[in-house]
């Protein structure tokens, strides 16, 4: 079966450019294209504030470009399906955002993205562009307490965008933003579960085939196996098991204020996501934590993979303020705040 028979696409080579064109047409008051595969705000933030830029492959919509907008990202540099954008395009974006206040580049820990970022930053620094990197590594499937470099960046980057985006809007310096973001990064953990794997939209190849009745906890963002295959259990049992693993990583203290997000990865309905959220929230509350901010949404998807990512974070007071009270107006994240 060819890819065109199971998906509404045209030429597989043009998926990324066509999806980005459609996206900026739909949200033209908020976002625009500033070059090939470079998504920026329709109305730029003032130049005396730090710009926040990120990068990543397409195929994960609405991530990451869905969070470009007031109070969140200034720019998202997009690669082809599941692929890093390369140093050249990222360097072009860094040149666009050159400013005294500097650029904070958020990099999800995937080898291609990290390499593109390192190269582009090295060149940018030689051109007098002030840029610092913030590496995200929220995935816990490499094992509890695994070193940061072994942990991938999953959808935990999205609440991070909200927090540092709001702080940048407030006029925080590059170093202050780095501290705020790094502190959140150390307190956010994500775990993914899949029960049906995804296909690659350009060649229709199946990435890891999960047998019927089996789920895999720890599945990567592109369907890479994570090791935790087991028979499918109920929504409540799945949720409870995942909360338990995430708390082992986070080691919260009673009374901690928590963020809980259930991110659908493509083929799991909001009905199911809500049922999962219910149990996860109940478990957290039973353990004496206050869930002070929540969300059920497809923020980062993996084609028609069935499953979800559970994101839990221990929030500091400033993180709560940035998440809940500060205005954001990106196509896929709106907060009515000041």
Partner 1 sequence: MDVLSIDIFKAMMRNALMHVKLREDEFSKLDAVIGDGDHGTAIVTALSCVMDPLEKGTEFKSMLNDMGFAVMLQTSGSTSTLLGAFFLGMSDYSAGISLDAGAMKAMFAGGLENVRKQTKAQKGDKTMMDALIPAVEAMQASTSQDIKELLVAAAEAALQGAQSTVQMKANFGRARNYGEQSIGYADSGATSWSCMFASFAEVV
Active centre residues (catalytic): 60, 222
Q: How far is the CB of 119 from partner 1 (least distance, A)?
A: 5
Q: Count Cα neighbours of 310 within 13 Å in the Cβ-side half-sphere.
A: 31
Site for partner 1 in 43-102 (CB under 8 A): 84, 86-88, 91
Nearer to partner 1 among residue 58 and residue 309 (C-beta)? 58
Q: Count Cα neighbours of 25 within 13 Å in the Cβ-side half-sphere.
A: 6
Decide: is 146 part of the binding site for partner 1 (CB under 8 A).
Answer: no
- Sign (positive or negative) of CA dihedral 335, 45, 155, 265: positive
DSSP SS3 for 336: coil
CA distances from 266 to 6, 143, 303 (A): 14, 25, 6
DSSP SS3 for 87: helix
Among 9, 32, 119, 240, the residue binding partner 1 under the rule CB under 8 A is 119
Nearer to partner 1 among residue 89 and residue 196 (C-beta)? 89
Nearer to partner 1 among residue 119 and residue 240 (C-beta)? 119
Decide if 184 contacts 319 (C-beta within 8 A). Answer: yes
Give the residue among 299, 113, 139 at the shortest CA–CA distance from 220: 139
Nearer to partner 1 among residue 119 and residue 214 (C-beta)? 119
Counting residues that bind partner 1 (by CB under 8 A) gives: 13
Decide: is 131 part of the binding site for partner 1 (CB under 8 A).
Answer: no
Give the interface segment with partner 1, choosing from 101-109, 117-125, 188-196, 294-302 (CB under 8 A): 117-125
Decide: is 115 part of the binding site for partner 1 (CB under 8 A).
Answer: yes
The strand pair at 31-35 and 38-41 is best described as antiparallel
Give the interface segment with partner 1, choosing from 9-17, 112-120, 249-257, 288-296 (CB under 8 A): 112-120
Q: How far is the CB of 190 from partner 1 (least distance, A)?
A: 23
The Cα–Cα gap between 103 and 178 comes to: 10
- Sign (positive or negative) of CA dihedral 98, 95, 80, 221: negative
Decide: is 128 part of the binding site for partner 1 (CB under 8 A).
Answer: no
Nearer to partner 1 among residue 5 and residue 126 (C-beta)? 126
Q: How far is the CB of 166 from partner 1 (least distance, A)?
A: 33
- Tokens 């109070």 belong to 71
Among 4, 10, 118, 248, the residue binding partner 1 under the rule CB under 8 A is 118
The Cα–Cα gap between 156 and 141 comes to: 14
Q: How far is the CB of 181 from partner 1 (least distance, A)?
A: 23
Decide: is 123 part of the binding site for partner 1 (CB under 8 A).
Answer: yes
DSSP SS3 for 210: coil
Q: How far is the CB of 327 from partner 1 (least distance, A)?
A: 37
The Cα–Cα gap between 89 and 6 comes to: 31
Site for partner 1 in 273-332 (CB under 8 A): none
Decide: is 142 part of the binding site for partner 1 (CB under 8 A).
Answer: no
The contacts of residue 105 (CB under 8 Å, 6+ apart) are 53, 54, 55, 94, 117, 121, 131, 132, 133, 134
Q: How far is the CB of 148 from partner 1 (least distance, A)?
A: 13
The site for partner 1 (CB under 8 A) is made up of: 84, 86-88, 91, 112, 115-116, 118-119, 122-123, 126
């Amino acid at each position: 079966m060819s890819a065109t028979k199971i998906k509404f696409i045209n030429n597989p080579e043009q998926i990324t450019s066509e999806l980005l064109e459609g996206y900026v047409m739909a949200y033209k008051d908020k976002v625009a294209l500033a070059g090939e595969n470079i998504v920026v705000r329709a109305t730029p933030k003032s130049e005396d504030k730090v710009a926040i830029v990120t990068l990543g492959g397409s195929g994960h919509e609405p991530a990451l470009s869905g969070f470009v907008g007031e109070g969140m990202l200034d720019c998202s540099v997009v690669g082809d399906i599941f692929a890093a954008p390369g140093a050249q395009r990222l360097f072009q974006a860094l040149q666009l955002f050159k400013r005294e206040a500097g650029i904070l580049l958020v990099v999800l820990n995937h080898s291609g993205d990290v390499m593109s970022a390192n190269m582009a930053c090295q060149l940018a620094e030689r051109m007098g562009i002030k840029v610092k990197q913030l590496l995200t590594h929220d995935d816990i499937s490499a094992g509890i307490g695994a070193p940061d470099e072994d942990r991938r960046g999953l959808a935990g980057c999205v609440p991070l965008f909200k927090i540092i985006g709001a702080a940048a809007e407030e006029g925080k310096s590059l170093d202050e933003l780095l501290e705020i973001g790094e502190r959140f990064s150390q307190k956010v953990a994500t775990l993914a579960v899949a029960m049906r794997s995804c296909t690659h939209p350009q060649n229709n190849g199946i990435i890891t085939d999960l047998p019927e009745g089996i789920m895999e906890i720890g599945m990567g963002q592109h369907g890479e196996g994570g090791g935790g295959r087991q028979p499918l259990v109920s929504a409540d049992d799945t949720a409870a098991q995942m909360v338990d693993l995430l708390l082992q990583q986070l080691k919260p203290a009673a009374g901690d204020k928590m963020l809980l997000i259930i991110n659908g990865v493509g083929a799991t309905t909001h009905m199911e996501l809500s049922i999962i959220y219910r149990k996860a929230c109940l478990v957290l509350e039973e353990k004496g934590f206050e869930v002070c901010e929540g969300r059920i949404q497809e923020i980062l998807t993996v084609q028609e993979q069935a499953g979800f990512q559970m994101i839990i974070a221990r929030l500091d007071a400033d993180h709560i303020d940035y998440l809940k009270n500060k205005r954001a107006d990106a196509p896929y994240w709106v907060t009515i705040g000041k």
